[in-house]
Amino acid sequence: MSVPENALTNHEVTVCLTGGAVLGPFNATWSRDEGGDVRELVREYDGFLQGEKQHRFKFHLHDTYTNTVHTLILNFDQVTGICDHVRLKSPPNG
């Protein structure tokens, strides 16, 4: 299945914190044409886990279902995991 680069991907993001607290889940939508930091959050955290210094602390997750933006300010030292559940839209004939 091929998904066009500008297609929306619908994410459900959950952030797990040290001590067992959980933030989310947050609905977030990303496409090349419509902003949002959902993919950057996951990439930045992945780099942090591989030994890179955290460069960003603030991430904006755009929820097109409710027309809202969730702003997360995170210190990755306190994050134990991020779950990014992605729902892909089916192609028109699929």
How many other CB atoms are found less than 10 A from the CB of residue 62? 20
Kindly report, residue by residue over 64-75, the tens digit of the pLDDT: 888 899 999 999
CA distance 39 to 15: 14
**For every residue of 56-75, which 3-state class applies, written as one string?**
CCEEEEEECCCCEEEEEECC
- What is the reported pTM? 0.80
Tens-place pLDDT, residues 29-60 = 876 666 678 889 999 999 999 999 999 999 99
CA 92 to chain centre: 25
pLDDT of res. 3 = 45
89 or 53: which leads in pLDDT: 53
